[in-house]
Amino acid sequence: MFYQDGNALVLKKGGETVRIEAWGKNALRLRATRNNEFTGNLWALCPKDELPADQRDAKVEITEQRAVIKNGSTSASVSSEGIITYYKNDEFLMREYFSCYGGTENNAVSCFKRVNREYKPHLNGDFKLTLRFEPIEGEKIYGMGVYQNPYIELKGTTLELAQRNAQTSIPFEISNKGYGLLWNNPAVGNVTFGKNMTEWVADAAKEFDLWITTDDSPKAIIENYTAVVGRAPEIDEELLGLWQCKLRYRTQAEVLEVARKYQELGIKIDVLVIDFFHWTLQGEWKFDTEYWPDVKAMVDELHSYGIKVMVSVWPSVDRKSENFYPMADRGLLMRTEKGAMQTYDYQGDCVVYDATNPEARKYVWDICKKNYYDYGIDMFWLDNAEPDLASYDFDNYRYYLGPGAEVSCIFPRCYAQGFFEGEKEVHPDKKILNLLRCGWVGSQKYGTLLWSGDIYSTFEALQNSVRGGLDIGLAGIPWWTTDIGGFMNSDVNTDYFKELLVRWYEWAVFTPILRLHGERGPLDIEPLDHKDWGSGYLHTGHANEIWSYGEKVQKILTDNLKIRWDLKDYIKSLYDEASANGSPLMRTMFYEFPEDAKCWDLDDQYMFGSEYLVAPVMYQGMTERQVYLPAGKWEDIRDKKVYEGGQTITAAAPLESIPVFKKL
C-alpha cells in the first residue's frame, strides 16, 4: 500500500515499511525496516529541518501500481512489488536488483528468489541487511575512504566496511554516471561493486538507510553531499608549513633541542608533535614528570619560536591506571560480550574508552584539558582512533550506542567530536584541528585531519597513499596528510629509504599538510630506563629532522619547503573553499575536468586545487615520467616552459624535484 506522509512517500508491503523523502539538494533519503517503526537515527545526516525549505520538499505521485517521488534532478519510482528505480533528470539511472526482472522492466528472466532488500534475523533482534543494485554499463566508482589497495577506481572491488589501522571506511561512492550514494549506516559489513551486481551488506542493523543525490559534475555532487553531512571548519593559517614529528621524543630536553636547532638553521616549523608514551600509563593522559618536569615552560619556549604544540592521546585505558576503575564503574569503557574484558594489549592490559558515550567523552576531555590544554598545548593527536583492538572481533564488543557489529564504524567520529566540543566550550572562536588515524562520514565537521595510518616505508605504500588521499577527498574529508617516508620497517642508513623520503616529501609539499613522521629503524636505541611504565622505558626511532639524512637530502627538503611557503596564500584559499563547498584540496583529474574522458582513468597524477597539476614520482630510480595535460596551457613551475594541453608529455623528474604544472 502506497501513501503520502507530508512530503514523504511510504510503501507498506509484506511486513516491510519503506519511506523515501527529500533530504538536501537534488537528494533523496530512503529508509526501510521490518520493525514496527524507524529508529529515528540520523547517523551521518544533519537534521532535516536545518536544510533550506526547498531542499526538504518533494513531489509525490501515486497510482495503483507505482509511486514516484521527485526532488530536483533526482527521482525514485517504486513499483507495487517494492522495487525502486532511480532517475536523473527523468532519465533512467539505476534500479534495485530483483531476480524476476532484467533488461527492461517487466521482462522476466528468472525466479531464483534473490531480492533487492534482504533481511536475515539475528537472535539479538537486529538483521543482517543486504541491498542489491543491478549493474550500470560503463560505470566507474570512486570515493569510499582509504583502503590499502592499488586502485582509485573501485568497480570490480570488494571493500570491508570497518575501521582498521591504515583503513578508513567512509561509505560514500561517487559515480561517473552523475550520482553520489551514501550507505548511511555505521555497521560493520562490506560492499561489492561487481560487474554483475552491486551489493551493500550490514552485518547487524535495524533498518536500511540510504541517501542519494544526482547532479551535473563531481564538484556539484560533493557540494550536495557535504551540505547534509557537514564540512570542515576554517583552518588556522599558521599550520600550513612544516610539521616536525618522529617516533618518539622521549623527554622535554629532546623536544627543545630539536626546536632550537631549527631556530639556528632559520628553518621555520609550524608544529612540533609529541608522540605516544610521554605519559605515565595509558589512560592517565598526563606527562611523566620525571622526563617532562616543566611542561608549561617548554610550551612557552616553543610558542616564542612561533611553533604550535600537538600531543598524542590514546583511547586505551590500562587496568593499572588511576582512571580504569572509576571509568569501569561508571560504564565509560567498551564492553565485551564474552570472555575477558580486555580489548587492547599493546604495552598493557587495556580497555578502550567508549567514545560513543557523551559522558565518557566529557570525562576524557576534562582530564586532557587539565593535564595538557591548560599548559598551553594547542592540538591533539587522537591516535588509535579506529579504535585499535587486540582482535577485530566486532561482534564481541558493545558500545553505548549499541552492539559493535551495528555501530563500530562511527567510533572515530565520536572520538574527534569529544575533543572538538571540549575545545569549543573553552575557546568558542578557536580554529580547531586535531589529527586522527581514522574517521567516518562527517568527521570533517569536527576539525579532523586524517592521515594514512601505520604504513610501510616502501614505494608501494607511497603509491597507495597518493590514491588514498584522492579517494578520501571524494568521500568528503578534505584535510589529509601522511607520514612522509612511511611509518615502519625503514632503515635510515639505506639509499633506498633516503630516495623514498625525498620523493615522498616532494609530493607532500602539494598535499593539505606537510608532516615529517616515522618510526625510523633500525630500532636499536637503548631505552632511558628499564621500568615497565612511564616515558623512559619504551623504544624510540632514529632522528627524523630535515638535517638527519645528510647535506644533500637536507638541501632538497629545504628547497622544496620554500615552494610550500610560496604557496601558503593559495593553500589557505583551498582550505577556505573546502569550508565553503566541500571541495577537497587534492582533486582527482576528473574533478576539475569531468568532460575529459581520459581524466577518469588517471590515478597517478592529480590537481592541487584548480591551478596546479601534480605528478608524483612513485617508483624507485625514476628520473622522468609521463604526464597528461588536459586542454589549455600549462607552465612547468620549475623552468617556466609552457606546454599546450590535450597531450601526454615526458617530463623530467630529477631527484631534486617532481613535475608540477600551473594552469594558465
Backbone angles phi, psi at 152, to 5 degrees: -95, -35
Task: Give the pLDDT score at 103.
Answer: 42
Backbone angles phi, psi at 356, to 5 degrees: -75, -10
Task: Give the pLDDT score at 559.
Answer: 98
- Measured in whole angstroms, the distance separating CA 648 from the mean position of its chain's CA atoms is 32
Task: Give the pLDDT score at 102.
Answer: 46
Task: Give the pLDDT score at 110.
Answer: 55
pLDDT grade for 115, boundaries at 50, 70 and 90 = confident
What's the whole-number average pLDDT of the chain?
96
pLDDT (mean) for 18-22: 98
* Whether the Cβ atoms of residue 319 and residue 282 lie closer than 8 Å to each other: no
pLDDT (mean) for 481-508: 97
Cell 629509504 maps to which residue? 497
Answer whether residue 258 shows pLDDT above 60: yes
* HSE-up of residue 463 (Cα within 13 Å, Cβ side): 13
Q: How many CB atoms lie within 10 A of CB 135?
A: 15
Using CA atoms, how far residue 188 sits from 154, 178, 477, 647, in Å, is 19, 27, 20, 44
The DSSP code sequence of 370-404 is: HHTGGGT--EEEE-STTT--SS--GGGEEETTEEH
Which amino acid belongs to residue 223? E
pLDDT grade for 544, boundaries at 50, 70 and 90 = very high
Grid coordinates given for 118: 534482504
Could you write out the three-class secondary structure of 178-200? CEEEEECCCCCEEEEECCCCEEE
* Whether the Cβ atoms of residue 87 and residue 26 lie closer than 8 Å to each other: no
Residues labelled as active-site residues: 383, 386, 454
Strand partners, 9: 4, 20
The DSSP code sequence of 455-524 is: -BSSHHHHHHHHHHHHHHHHTT---EE--BT-SBS--TTSHHHHHHHHHHHHHHTTSS-EEE----S---
Grid coordinates given for 659: 613535475
In the chain, what's the furthest Cα-to-Cα distance? 80
Strand partners, 312: 381
Beta-carbon contacts of 389 under 8 Å, excluding residues fewer than 6 positions away, are 343, 344, 352, 397
* Whether the Cβ atoms of residue 483 and residue 518 lie closer than 8 Å to each other: yes
- Whether residue 387 has a cis bond before it, omega within 30° of 0: yes
Backbone angles phi, psi at 509, to 5 degrees: -55, -30
Residues 407, 189: Cα–Cα separation, whole Å: 11
Tell me the domains of the chain and their CATH numbers.
Answer: 2-229 (2.60.40.1760), 239-581 (3.20.20.80), 588-663 (2.60.40.1180)
pLDDT tens digits for range 128-144: 999 999 999 999 999 99
Residues 42, 45: Cα–Cα separation, whole Å: 5
Task: Give the pLDDT score at 100.
Answer: 57
Residues 116, 192: Cα–Cα separation, whole Å: 14
Q: Which helix (H) or strand (E) holds 132?
A: strand 127-133
Residues 308, 306: Cα–Cα separation, whole Å: 7
* Whether the Cβ atoms of residue 357 and residue 333 lie closer than 8 Å to each other: no
Using CA atoms, how far residue 490 sits from 300, 484, 495, 527, in Å, is 34, 12, 11, 19
pLDDT tens digits for range 501-539: 999 999 999 999 999 999 999 999 999 998 989 999 999
pLDDT (mean) for 278-289: 97
pLDDT tens digits for range 56-114: 999 999 998 899 999 999 999 999 889 999 999 999 999 999 765 444 444 445 566 67
pLDDT (mean) for 16-33: 98
Beta-carbon contacts of 225 under 8 Å, excluding residues fewer than 6 positions away, are 172, 180, 182, 213, 476, 582
Task: Give the pLDDT score at 104.
Answer: 44
Residues 469, 615: Cα–Cα separation, whole Å: 14
Answer whether residue 234 shows pLDDT above 70: yes
Cell 600509563 maps to which residue? 281
pLDDT tens digits for range 399-436: 999 999 999 999 999 999 999 999 999 999 999 999 99
Q: How many CB atoms lie within 10 A of CB 570?
A: 13
